[in-house]
């Protein structure tokens, strides 16, 4: 096999991170098309492509229910953990499962996996990274790739941010750049989006409406007011 110098790492383009998922990233499905195009180009050149996935146990400190930050998502074997239906599926692509340790978050594609070893075995010197989400798993994968000694191109047009705080995506881009990664493409795509916290609120509100007999009108009204307040804050942020 000829020596490979570049690899594409597609980070966590899974149902739970796309619209309708339990931890949906706003416009997360928009990364599928550019990543598919790149993956085909890499495969056509005989260069390696990796897809990482969150592959959490049902009980993990990563989830808010067990002391962590996040709603339950990407549990092993569930539909939410499956890759987006339109994401390229090819037998030449290597899948990297992360977040399998119930005591760790597992944000990075390198955390607790053999990704670095596989890249070195392929002779890779440079990795191109895109996916979900800019400010968590993409960022940590990029930072770890730099720590492992790889050159990195972070694909701004092919990532989207969670933005629990409005500036999280922008800050993640700066952290990746400061670590030595080259930011390729329009950075506005990577961070200027409605925070995914809105998706959580919308999901909660929808569930409550569907189960109105189990939820008081006061509780539904409270969630709706919180949603409107958040949208108002974000609108102010984008007009600065």
Nearest CA to 1 out of 150, 124, 115 is that of 124
Cα 79-56-47 angle, rounded to 5 deg: 80
pLDDT digit string, tens, across residues 160-214: 999 999 899 999 999 999 999 999 998 776 764 455 445 444 444 444 444 444 4
* Whole-number CA gyration radius for the chain: 18
130 and 28 co-located in one domain: yes
Establish if 1 belongs to a structural domain.
Answer: no
Establish if 124 belongs to a structural domain.
Answer: yes
104 and 20 co-located in one domain: yes
201 and 184 co-located in one domain: no
68 and 158 co-located in one domain: yes
pLDDT digit string, tens, across residues 35-75: 999 999 999 999 999 999 999 999 999 999 999 999 999 99
**Positions marked active-site:** 12, 98, 137
Q: Which residues contact 50 (CB under 8 A, 6 or more apart)?
A: 7, 8, 9, 10, 93, 94, 95, 96, 109, 115, 118
Specify the pTM.
0.80
For 210, the domain range is 197-238
């Amino acid at each position: 096999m000829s020596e490979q110098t570049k690899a594409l790492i597609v980070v966590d383009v899974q149902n739970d991170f796309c619209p309708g998922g339990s931890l949906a990233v706003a416009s997360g499905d928009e990364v599928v098309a550019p990543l598919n195009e790149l993956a085909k180009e890499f495969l056509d050149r005989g260069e390696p492509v990796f897809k990482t996935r969150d592959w959490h146990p049902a009980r993990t400190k990563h989830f808010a229910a067990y002391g962590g930050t996040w709603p339950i998502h990407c549990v092993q074997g569930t539909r939410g953990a499956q890759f987006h239906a339109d994401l390229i599926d090819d037998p030449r692509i290597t899948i990297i499962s992360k977040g399998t340790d119930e005591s760790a978050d597992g944000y990075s594609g390198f955390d607790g996996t053999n990704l670095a070893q596989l890249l070195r075995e392929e002779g890779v010197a440079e990795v191109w990274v895109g996916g979900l989400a800019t400010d968590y798993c993409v960022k940590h994968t990029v930072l770890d790739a730099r720590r492992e000694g790889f050159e990195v191109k972070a694909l701004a047009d092919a990532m989207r941010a969670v933005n629990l705080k409005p500036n999280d995506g922008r800050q993640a881009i700066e952290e990746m750049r400061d670590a030595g990664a080259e930011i390729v493409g329009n950075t506005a795509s990577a961070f200027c989006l409605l925070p995914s916290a809105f998706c959580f609120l919308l999901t909660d509100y929808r569930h409550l409406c569907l189960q109105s007999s189990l939820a008081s009108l006061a509780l539904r009204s409270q969630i709706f007011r919180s949603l409107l307040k958040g949208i108002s804050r974000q609108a102010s942020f984008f007009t600065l």
